[in-house]
Structure 1
Amino acid sequence: MRKGKKKLLTIGTSLFLTASLFAGCSSNSTNTKEASSESTTNSNSNTSTPAPEASEATGIDTSKKVELQFYMLGDAPKDLNLIQDEVNKMALEDLNATVKFNFTTWTDWESKYKLLLSSGQPIDLIFTAEWTNYQSYAVKGAFLPLDDLLPKAAPKLQAYVPQDFWEAVKVDKKIYTVPAIWKEYVNDGIAYREDLRKKYNLPKPESLETLEQYLDGIRKNEPDMLPLADTEVSHVDSIRQMTTTTVNTNDKVPYGLNIMYDTPRDVTSYWGSPQHLEDLKMFRSWQEKGYFMKNMLNIKDSGSDIFAAGKAAAILGSENPNRFGDAVVKVKSLHPDWELGYSPYPNMKGFSSPVHPIHNGFAIPRSSKNPERALAFYEKLVTDKRYNWLTQYGIEGKHFEIEDGKYYKMLGDAQSNGFTREGMNGWAWRNPEFMLFDKSYQAVLDMFDEMDKIAKPNIFQGFGEDWTSYQAEKAALLQVEKQYLYPLNDGMVKDVEAGLKLFMEKAKKAGLDKIQAEYTKQWLQYLDDANIK
């Protein structure tokens, strides 16, 4: 790939599995840094992009003014209303539409997301991913198919997204989401205070053993600092990523199942196993040693925010390379003398997997009253630099500035800045041609290059679960988890063995065996269809 050509990940099949794909990922890896640097240079021209006429941009009727309801996951940035007002000035002129940006918050987002899609309330655009069960909701008819809408309402977007990406996100041969096109790795890792590690001569946390040594050193030398920032149960799956070759390389296998990458047909139960008991006893010891916060189930702030604020020395869950890169910028703005380190789980387990195109996307729910206008607006977010920069970086001169002609520089610090980089969680409409990076982000791009070297095809994210036959049991099991398993995961139960026994009894009563059996059946059928041995 010659210098200056934008880096896109090409998918060979809709399942994102073939060897040619894997080779393609690796061969492109050396251009990540060049493409990123060059793309920002080319897009940072001071020449403004003229606003196109609505009639030129779309083939849709824009005679009636509408307000679009746009739903994102997570927490809203402080200056959201300011950004929304600026976006609406353009959208009103271009599409005779305004948009209302809504956020779920991270607290209990799964229940809120489910309610949004089942309540029938008007929603025009909503975030999708494999971790929000995109495939399952698509199968259930929660989203409108986009195949006929795209050429009419968003022809530029349709042409810009590579055809193999459209193929990759199809469910039952229909497109239900607009995929992101920036190649990235979202495998998690341990983010930690490197300056404290050096200060107290602690080992790098690159294994379970060295992690415990690091946490113990922090506890002894910094008694007023929280060793771990993790809230709720994010650390549980992180330990599985650290110590096993679990098939799902950036999240978890649900319902307490064990599925390993090299033996995906060997499906067993982790819940209730000797290893599960051993892990829970370890979490109890961590709570007793003071590694965890005492009331972590009731904490409203995310672990990432707690870590970025400097209240904890490390975080195990939900800290992928991009989040880590953002944390570096935020911490640097508040504490220039601090240094952060990162240990990716792929380095511990021996392989990584680039994201499947379904990992970040936007769909139009069936409850939308303005599907054509919604898709036309989303086209603007992706392909129009004015919309893209405004919703990704904020207002130039107020929230950020361009440094050395090509780098993003946050103005103020993480507390005073009302719209930090990607402040709207706009991962899905990243455009490689417009992306801006802080100088420190080079470390993340270097990480991606290293992950390219150990990359394996992602064999999990093409799988779409259909829980129709066990929907009631699934809901009951979730309540059992929250009541009986979460306290075990957080080390709050003194008699771990008795606590696990009680959880398993309650889980089986809720329908665990039925759920695991049906899920396993679907998984094996998926492997057969995808010809995965």
Structure 2
Amino acid sequence: MVKRRIISVCMIMTLAASMLAGCGGSKEKDAGNTTTDSTQTKDNGTAANTSDSKDNKPAGIDTSKKVELQFYMLGDAPKDLPVIQEEINKLAMADLNATVKFNFTTWTDWEQKYKLLLSSGQPIDLIFTADWTQYQSYAKKGAFLPLDDLLPKAAPKLNEFVPKDMWEAVKIDKKIYTVPATWKEYVTEGIAYREDLRKKYNLPKPESIATLEQYLDGIRKNEPNMLPLADNQGYHTDAIRQLTTKTVNSSGTVPYGLNIMYDNPRDVTSYWGSPQHLADLKMYKTWADKGYWPKNVLNVKDSGHDVFASGKAAAVLGSENPNRYNDSVIKIKSTHPDWELGYFPYPNAKGFAQPVHPIHNGFAIPRSSKNPERALAFYEKMVTDKKYNWLTQYGIEGKNFEVEDGKYYKMLGDAQSNGFPREGMQSWAWRNPEFMLFDKSFDAVLQMFSDFDKIAKPDIFQGFPEDWSPYQAEKAALLQVEKQYLYPLNVGLVSDVEGGLKLFMEKAKQAGLDKIQEEYKKQWLKYLDDIGQ
């Protein structure tokens, strides 16, 4: 299969440096003065009458026919979405003769829903993409429209706004299929925990397996009505690999039970079935017996992040990158200002950090779109027009948020009463560094990013465009085997761990594990050849 070259190491690092300057330096200061902009929302916070339809109509496309755009997001919709959608549609009607319907998948079974959306043929005009939604593979399979010719015509401002290096980085087979987010960030994960409880009971900071267990044991002893660890579906397993190894994937493990370390990426082995895998599973059994998570953990629908942010658990391991940790800080501060959170980033254990690859957050136009030009023109507004951007990032000023000290975001009400919290639409993809507002607590995250810059290495994993066509049937079969035999092992529900692992490996091999691992390894090594690794 044809492989693409990703941007060179020097390009990535140059981009990383320039983008950090954008969010941590002058760009942040510029964003802090946005409340003086004459186009900012007025009176009741709506933006209905602030759009100059003459100046804002796109010149390159036909907008004579009114259309409704179908916009698909992952996750759950915020409570005030109808109000925000109404305000956006007032703007979009004046500017583009279009309305938009914001659709959400919920987080329950989102992967299956996402696959169905792209395979059913139903009309969709814009859909979220990311490395973790398999952007590369879907693009190679023709799920999205190429944007190369559309961008200069329908979204010239957006075309110029995104750096050329980033356009190059998201190309699949030399074509652009998604609009990348331009805010540079790190989504390497870490351990978030209740620092106030740690201090209260004189517990160690959870920065290793040993200190994590001591912290969780202390919580179990002193706070018997609180979950020591927030989890569902055994997501702590990926987090432990991040804490204890230098895995090449900075925000999860390598799929199909493979072992690939950053320092030696050509050495591809199997973690599943290894002595280390057995030792880890035995540790999880011990954790389950101690009551670190509930016995029905595999049936918990709320994400570990949400359980932790609601105050029901004392720590969370999986999914807690610096941004999501800050989201927890904001939510907990709004309801329990006397609580204090702590955070240990896995890069501090691994010795290096990887800034996100440009494909990490983006939006694509599916093949099923009936309005690709209008969709791209609308997305340009979301990114480059502050009225659209602030409405969909923060809500209505004066109702959902206010600007504090000229530059800081402040939630109005609390996490329960506020109908549109910061980035309440999972609006990561259309962040604009020139418009971004941060909670005061985010200064700590920006400092963390600055520290990461000192140990930064290029992300060589997320640019890998896996093609699972040769093993699609085996991949589906393996997933079912994982759910039936591995998930219970991950959360300590199998009394005979060694026997359970042996049974899982037998079933996995019957499902085609060897074929999958062999083909994946072949593609991976070819990819490393392409990028000069």
Segments of 5+ residues of structure 1 without an aligned counterpart are: 1-12
**Residue 38 (1) aligns with residue 29 (2):** yes
Counterparts of 1:102 and 1:16, CA distance in 2:
33
Partner of 1:64: 65
**Residue 51 (1) aligns with residue 51 (2):** yes
Shift of 1:340: 0.3
Provide Cα deviations, 1:437-456, integer angstroms capped at 9, x if missing partner: 11111011011011111101
Counterparts of 1:118 and 1:97, CA distance in 2:
26
Contact 1:122–1:367 (Cα < 8 Å) also in 2: yes
Counterparts of 2:325 and 2:76, CA distance in 1:
18
Counterparts of 2:273 and 2:130, CA distance in 1:
29
Counterparts of 1:96 and 1:191, CA distance in 2:
45
Shift of 1:359: 0.3
Contact 1:16–1:459 (Cα < 8 Å) also in 2: no
Shift of 1:186: 0.2
- What amino acid does structure 1 have at the position aligned with 2:31? T
Aligned pairs for 1:212-227 within 5 A: 212-227=213-228
Specify whether residues 252 and 473 from structure 1 end up closer, same or farther in structure 2 by C-alpha distance, changes over 3 A only: same
Aligned length: 520
Shift of 1:280: 0.7
Counterparts of 2:353 and 2:146, CA distance in 1:
32
Counterparts of 2:421 and 2:163, CA distance in 1:
29
- SS of alignment partner, residue 362 of structure 1: strand
Aligned pairs for 1:61-210 within 5 A: 61-210=62-211
Shift of 1:277: 0.7
- SS of alignment partner, residue 252 of structure 2: coil
Aligned pairs for 1:382-397 within 5 A: 382-397=383-398
Structure 1 range deviating more: 375-384 or 45-54: 45-54
Partner of 1:15: 6
Counterparts of 2:459 and 2:314, CA distance in 1:
31
Shift of 1:22: 2.8
Shift of 1:281: 0.7
Counterparts of 2:506 and 2:528, CA distance in 1:
31
Contact 2:28–2:433 (Cα < 8 Å) also in 1: no
Q: TM-score, normalised by structure 1?
A: 0.95
Identity of aligned residues (%): 75
Partner of 2:468: 467
- SS of alignment partner, residue 373 of structure 1: helix
- What amino acid does structure 1 have at the position aligned with 2:170? V
- SS of alignment partner, residue 44 of structure 1: helix
Shift of 1:57: 2.3
Aligned pairs for 1:231-380 within 5 A: 231-380=232-381
- SS of alignment partner, residue 391 of structure 2: helix
Contact 2:7–2:168 (Cα < 8 Å) also in 1: no
Partner of 1:492: 493
Contact 2:5–2:530 (Cα < 8 Å) also in 1: no
- SS of alignment partner, residue 88 of structure 2: helix
Counterparts of 1:31 and 1:401, CA distance in 2:
22
Contact 1:26–1:455 (Cα < 8 Å) also in 2: no
Counterparts of 2:395 and 2:16, CA distance in 1:
32
Counterparts of 2:85 and 2:243, CA distance in 1:
41
Contact 2:7–2:165 (Cα < 8 Å) also in 1: no
Specify whether residues 361 and 372 from structure 1 end up closer, same or farther in structure 2 by C-alpha distance, changes over 3 A only: same
Hey, which bits of structure 1, 4+ residues long, moved more than 6 A?
Answer: none
Counterparts of 2:214 and 2:349, CA distance in 1:
16
| Alignment RMSD (CA, Å) | 1.5
Shift of 1:491: 1.1
Specify whether residues 52 and 168 from structure 1 end up closer, same or farther in structure 2 by C-alpha distance, changes over 3 A only: farther
Shift of 1:27: 7.7
Counterparts of 1:208 and 1:80, CA distance in 2:
41
Counterparts of 1:115 and 1:30, CA distance in 2:
40
Contact 1:330–1:413 (Cα < 8 Å) also in 2: yes
Shift of 1:303: 0.9
- SS of alignment partner, residue 151 of structure 2: helix
Counterparts of 2:14 and 2:522, CA distance in 1:
31
Partner of 1:442: 443
Contact 2:57–2:95 (Cα < 8 Å) also in 1: no
Contact 2:304–2:316 (Cα < 8 Å) also in 1: yes
Segments of 5+ residues of structure 2 without an aligned counterpart are: 41-49
Contact 2:190–2:343 (Cα < 8 Å) also in 1: yes
Shift of 1:462: 1.1
Shift of 1:399: 0.3
- SS of alignment partner, residue 283 of structure 2: helix
- What amino acid does structure 1 have at the position aligned with 2:481? V
Counterparts of 1:63 and 1:424, CA distance in 2:
29
- What amino acid does structure 1 have at the position aligned with 2:53? E
Provide Cα deviations, 1:77-106, integer angstroms capped at 9, x if missing partner: 111111111111111111111111111111
Structure 1 range deviating more: 280-289 or 46-55: 46-55
Q: TM-score, normalised by structure 2?
A: 0.95
Contact 1:17–1:458 (Cα < 8 Å) also in 2: no
Shift of 1:16: 3.9
Partner of 2:483: 482
Counterparts of 1:200 and 1:53, CA distance in 2:
60
Counterparts of 1:288 and 1:453, CA distance in 2:
40
Contact 1:65–1:96 (Cα < 8 Å) also in 2: yes
Shift of 1:37: 3.5
Counterparts of 2:7 and 2:149, CA distance in 1:
24
Partner of 2:212: 211
Specify whether residues 20 and 470 from structure 1 end up closer, same or farther in structure 2 by C-alpha distance, changes over 3 A only: closer
Counterparts of 2:84 and 2:413, CA distance in 1:
17
Counterparts of 1:113 and 1:174, CA distance in 2:
22
- SS of alignment partner, residue 492 of structure 2: coil
Provide Cα deviations, 1:233-252, integer angstroms capped at 9, x if missing partner: 21111000000000011122
Structure 1 range deviating more: 113-122 or 43-52: 43-52
Contact 1:16–1:462 (Cα < 8 Å) also in 2: no
Shift of 1:66: 1.0
Shift of 1:20: 5.5
Counterparts of 1:171 and 1:464, CA distance in 2:
8
Counterparts of 2:318 and 2:114, CA distance in 1:
21
Shift of 1:43: 2.1
Specify whether residues 306 and 391 from structure 1 end up closer, same or farther in structure 2 by C-alpha distance, changes over 3 A only: same
Counterparts of 1:118 and 1:437, CA distance in 2:
37
